[in-house]
């Protein structure tokens, strides 16, 4: 994970993270995001869902197909793609994962994203709180 230089918006410094995520990790994150929150959270979630979702390029490159509830992709889907995620979005993801952990509802598919968004940030001293 690489921390990008801060962007300043009207006296507010926003740190963005370049996160390397695979297709399965992106799907997992989309599933754990909260469905409700305050206005600011919902605005951030809208943008985050767009970033984690699949572009036309992704559909072609990874041959993504959906049949019913199942999503499939080619072997390249296991490759990490860099996605720029804002500080507030990373905080929302971390809170969602910590919530699942606290409720003892983490599943094996959460393991890699938990490491990237919770453990990596805490170990690097850049914990999202």
Percent of the chain whose predicted confidence (pLDDT) is above 70: 82
pLDDT tens profile 13-28: 557 889 999 999 999 9
pTM of the model as a whole:
0.81
Q: What is the mean pLDDT of residues 51-76?
A: 94
Give residue 16's pLDDT.
Answer: 85
Give residue 127's pLDDT.
Answer: 47
pLDDT at 121 over 80: no
The full set of domain ranges for the chain reads 2-123
Give residue 5's pLDDT.
Answer: 59
**71-110 exposure pattern, b = at least 16 Cβ within 10 A, e = fewer:** eebeeebeeebebebbbbbbbbbbbbbeeeeeeeebeeeb
């Amino acid at each position: 994970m690489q921390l990008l230089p801060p962007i300043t918006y009207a006296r507010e410094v926003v740190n963005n993270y370049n996160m390397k995520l695979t297709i399965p990790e992106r799907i997992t994150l989309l599933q754990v995001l909260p469905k409700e929150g305050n206005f600011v959270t919902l605005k951030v979630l809208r943008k985050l869902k767009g970033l984690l979702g699949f572009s036309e390029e992704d559909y072609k490159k990874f041959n993504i197909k959906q049949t019913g509830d199942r999503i499939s992709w080619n072997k390249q889907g296991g490759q990490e793609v860099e996605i720029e995620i804002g500080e507030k979005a990373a905080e929302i993801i971390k809170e969602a994962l910590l919530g699942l952990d606290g409720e003892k509802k983490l599943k094996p598919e959460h393991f890699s994203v938990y490491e990237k968004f919770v453990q990596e940030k805490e170990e690097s001293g850049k914990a999202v709180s």
